[in-house]
Amino acid sequence: MAIDLTYTSAQQAFRQQVRTWMAANVPREPLESLETPAGAAQHREWERTLASGNWGMVTWPKEYGGRGCDLIEWLIFEEEYYRAQAPGRLNQNGIFLLGPTLMEFGTPEQKARFLPRMAAGQDIWAQAWSEPQAGSDLAALKATAIRDGDHYVLSGHKIWASRAVYADWAFGMFRTDPVSERHRGISFVLFPLDQPGVRVRGIPQIHGDTGFAEIFLEDARVPVANRLGEEGQGWHIAMATAGFERGLMLRSPARFQATAAKLVELYHRHSAEADPALGAQVAQAWMNTEAYALNTYMTASRIMAGGSIGVETSLNKIFWSEMDLAMHRAAMSLLGARAELKHVSRNGGDGDNWLEGFMFSLAGPIYAGTNEIQRNMIAERLLGMPR
Amino acid sequence: MDFTFTEQQRMMAGACRELLDDICSPGATRLAAEGRSDAGAERWARLSEIGVPGMLAPEAAGGLGLTDVDLVLIAEQTGRAALPEPLMEHAGVAVPLLAEFAGSPRAAGWLERAATGEARIAVGPECNPFVLGADRADALLMQHGDEVHLLERDAVTLVPEPSIDTLRSLVCVEWSPSAATRLTDGDRGRSAWSRAFERGALYAAAQCAGLAERMVALSVAYASDRTQFGKLIGSYQALKHHLANVQVTLEFARPVIYAAAARVATAGGRTAAMVSHAKLAAGDAADLAARNAMQVHGAMGYSWEVDLHFYMKRAWALAGTWGDRSFHARRVQSLVLSGAVALGPDMTFSRAGI
């Protein structure tokens, strides 16, 4: 038997170290929603606090502001992070999506320029991929980056850029070859949001807060040095990013396990009046989060043993998004007549913001590539069904 | 912390998969189901040659001295093949149960013959009203309350209980417990049956995963061959999504099955919760696979001439054995809601709990 599902003493010591730091530093009161100006400022402050403890992105090398942790240590860190009910990560697009992409495709200069500031919470990043006519069909994108000396001139209209209203930078996909079609002629370009020719307009979401935004680009100039990878290699790089996004890092199991534990508490408070069938839903929610955790540990172990992660990231994305939605639906059922109450209401949410979590979980099957697109990918690339 | 199988474990599972593709292909399964061939003895012999019956028996008893983590991968393969022989009841449940009574010369004798595959042992826990493969067994391990009884086949009366899965030979066993047949009782017997139950459910779960894999493969092959409206039906999203959904369910059942095997092997905490979770997750995967595979096959999936039904029926059969869905769901629910299982992000590998 080689499977060893116990932590080494070094791993246990690491857990203790994280736990101690979190206990001393996690804000006692929950922060405002990070999709409000006040909340975004609080979360930016939290990113800096994390960085002060050198916890900004533990898996990165020390030279880029990380701790050189392996994936098991990362999972332990995440477990302690969510066990301590630490705030959501304002910079998740930076650290979980662009970060690994930079690590793989960036030049040494680009890594040194962007990664430490990202880990330190100094630069918050947004993703500028989708366009009004390029959603699921991302390869239909039209925004251009036209070479002009040692600069690119960016033009076009990006949309659904999460947190762009509060971000400093964006990573986008642009046609460097304006007559190119589909997946060819696209380049991956990093650009500051606070510069001439860039206009960010927030899009209020169903809960009324403004989390994502449109980005209008009108002859915004960025140095050629801001291009990641080769000209025309953008699609390939973006697909690697999308893999990170759907795959291991964007949604760590710990976050869902913490929600499942809270759901059990909620059930206990309402078990007297709740439909007994909800007990089964609560137990199923716990099982799903455990299955997701076990699957992640298995994938992490495989990657550490030299393996890689491919189209199975699509399986992950479907599983966590549907699991999260089911958990929050169960919570809404348990809350009954109070489920509709906003967090600010005296009787709202039983102390937890289930309503906001429910609405956020509704986005899960849509962002990072809709679940329908993921199912197509599973069928075609994993099962080998005809296109 | 290392959640990977060894090269050797993967190789053994791969060898078993190839062997079963050879001796238990869908074509061979059809011949067996239609009573046109009886290659059962040959299959049992070939699987015995690679040591499967005695994988969990100690080396001193002629076994391989391996663990449930090794056998669980084999169980997946026997499920994928819808193997007619009750190999998992024998190798996964009866052999380790017998091995608990090495102090009894009678049990030790049967263990040695069971480990090589020379003798077949059937097992009759009270959770399963009918005993699988008792007609071809040489001896039976029967439950009577907390007591474990070992009987030779001649000492019992068998009444056939035909299953819709004609490859599963089920019987009702009529027998009388006696001091002479009893191996143990009391706490020792209760805990022995408890371990046997967890193993039975674990290996049923692993077989369900294999069955789901097979049903997806059959459906992909069919949908990649059949044309309607001038296109391969597998190019339509409605069918792609049916099979992708099965694949998601299956891939998130596997880690649970493997972790449950590790728990069973080390008698670690949370065994009951993990095994029930595994049985539910794998059972749901096989159930969805059967449902969606039939839909993808259309009317062909409802016909005897297409092989799908052999695997579907095995999935239906396994759903009700070693604890049905409602038993395992209630068990998890009670463990989780009673606090017997610690909750939270840092508790996945906790050694505490039932």
- Does B1 contact A at CB distance below 8 Å? yes
Q: What is the pLDDT of residues B6-48, one digit of tens each?
A: 999 999 999 999 999 999 999 999 999 998 988 999 999 999 9
Answer whether B119's CB lies under 8 Å from B104's CB. no
Q: Which chain A residue has its CA at the smallest distance from B333's CA? A: A283
Q: Hey, are the CB atoms on A264 and B244 less than 8 Å from each other?
A: no
pLDDT at position B20: 98
> B344, A4: Cβ pair inside 8 Å?
no
Can you tell me the distance from the alpha carbon of A119 to that of A275, in angstroms, rounded to the nearest whole number? 46
Provide the pLDDT for residue A1: 64
Please indicate whether, in this complex, the C-beta atoms of B255 and A376 are within 8 angstroms of each other.
no
For residue A84, count CB atoms less than 10 angstroms from its CB and return exposed for 0-12, middle for 13-18, buried for 19 or more.
middle
A29 in active site: no
pLDDT of residue A372: 97
For the whole model, what pTM was predicted?
0.96
Across A193-207, A349-363, B15-29, B319-333, least confident range:
A349-363
In this prediction, residue A249 carries a pLDDT of 76
Rounded to whole angstroms, what are the CA distances from A387 to A373, A380, A381, B232, B240?
13, 6, 10, 9, 10
Torsion of CA B251, A261, A264, A301, to 10 degrees: 20
Give tens-digit pLDDT for A173-212: 999 999 998 999 999 999 999 999 999 999 999 988 888 8
Residues A124 and A109: their CA atoms lie apart, in Å, by 19
Band the pLDDT of B141: cuts 50, 70, 90.
very high
**Assigned token pair, B165:** 């899965």
**B6 touches A at CB < 8 Å:** yes
Closest alpha carbon to A363 in A212, A170, A253: A212
pLDDT greater than 80 at residue A250: no
Output the pLDDT for position B15. Answer: 97
Is B247 close to A376, i.e. CB distance below 8 A? no
Q: How far is CA B29 from CA A116, A282, B23, B25, in A?
A: 61, 40, 9, 6
| CB contact residues (below 8 A), chain A span 119-178, against chain B | none
Lowest-pLDDT range of A176-180, A288-292, B14-18, B220-224: A176-180
End-to-end C-alpha distance for chain A, whole angstroms? 41
- CB contact under 8 Å between A287 and B69, yes or no, is no
**Rounded-to-integer distance, Cα A179 and Cα A357, Å:** 43
Alpha-carbon distance of A51 to A59, in angstroms, equals 13
Q: What is the pLDDT of residues A62-108, one digit of tens each?
A: 999 999 999 999 999 999 999 999 999 999 899 988 998 999 899 99
CATH class of the domain defined by B193-337: mainly alpha
How far is B256 from B201, CA to CA, in rounded Å?
13
Could you tell me if A370 lies within 8 Å of chain B, comparing CB atoms?
no
Answer whether A327's CB lies under 8 Å from A256's CB. yes
Every domain of chain A and the residues it spans: 9-90, 125-233, 247-382
Whether B7 and chain A come into contact, CB under 8 Å, resolves to: no
Chain-chain contact of B248 with A382 (C-beta, under 8 angstroms): no
Contacts of A64 (CB under 8 A, 6+ apart): A57, A111, A112, A115, A116, A119
Span B51-75, mean pLDDT?
97
**Residue A359 to residue A35: CA distance in whole angstroms:** 13
A249 touches B295 (CB < 8 A): no
B294-308: average pLDDT: 97
Distance to chain B for A362, nearest Cα, Å:
19
Put simply, whether A4 touches B (Cβ < 8 Å) is yes
B265 touches chain A (CB under 8 A): yes
Give the pLDDT confidence of A1-48 residue by residue, as tens digits: 689 999 999 999 999 999 999 999 999 998 998 889 999 999 999 999
What is the predicted ipTM? 0.96
CA distance A264 to chain B (A): 7
Amino acid A245: pLDDT:
54
pLDDT mean across residues, chain B: 96
Q: Under an 8 A CB cutoff, do B9 and A380 touch? A: no
SS3 category, A283:
helix
A247-382: CATH topology is: Butyryl-CoA Dehydrogenase, subunit A; domain 3 (1.20.140)
Q: Is the pLDDT of residue A247 over 70?
A: no
Output the CA torsion sign for B212, A371, A367, A262.
Answer: negative
From A136, A20, A22, A201, select the one nearest A370 (Cα to Cα): A136
AA letter at B49? E
Q: Which letter does DSSP use for residue B91 in this model?
A: I
Residue A327, amino acid: M
What is the model's pLDDT at position A242?
A: 67
* DSSP letter assigned to residue B234: G
Helices (H) and strands (E) in chain B, counts: 13, 9
Which residues of chain B neighbour A293 with C-beta distances below 8 Å?
345, 348
Instruction: Say yes or no to pLDDT of A246 above 70.
Output: no
Pair type for strands B139-144 and B121-124: parallel
- Residues B161-165: what's their mean pLDDT? 96
Residue B131: is it exposed, middle or buried by C-beta count within 10 angstroms (0-12/13-18/19+)? buried
Our CA-based measurement puts residue A5 at a distance from the nearest CA of chain B, in whole angstroms, of 5
| Alpha-carbon distance values, B322 to A79, A240, B130 (Å) | 34, 44, 11
Contact A201, A152 (CB under 8 A): no
Give burial (CB, 10 Å; 0-12/13-18/19+) of B104: middle
DSSP A179: T
Percent of chain A scoring above 90 in pLDDT: 80
Work out the pLDDT band at B71, boundaries 50, 70, 90: very high
Tokens at residue B317, please? 């059969």
Q: How far apart are CA B43 and CA B19, in angstroms?
A: 9
What's the pLDDT band for A240 if we cut at 50, 70, 90? Answer: confident
pLDDT in tens, A97-123: 899 899 989 999 999 999 999 999 999
CATH number for the segment(s) A125-233: 2.40.110.10
- pLDDT(B267) > 90: no
Name the band, by pLDDT with cuts 50, 70 and 90, for residue B352. confident
Q: Residue B102: which pLDDT band, with cuts at 50, 70 and 90?
A: confident
What's residue A189's pLDDT? Answer: 98
Confidence grade of residue A344 (pLDDT, cut at 50, 70, 90): confident
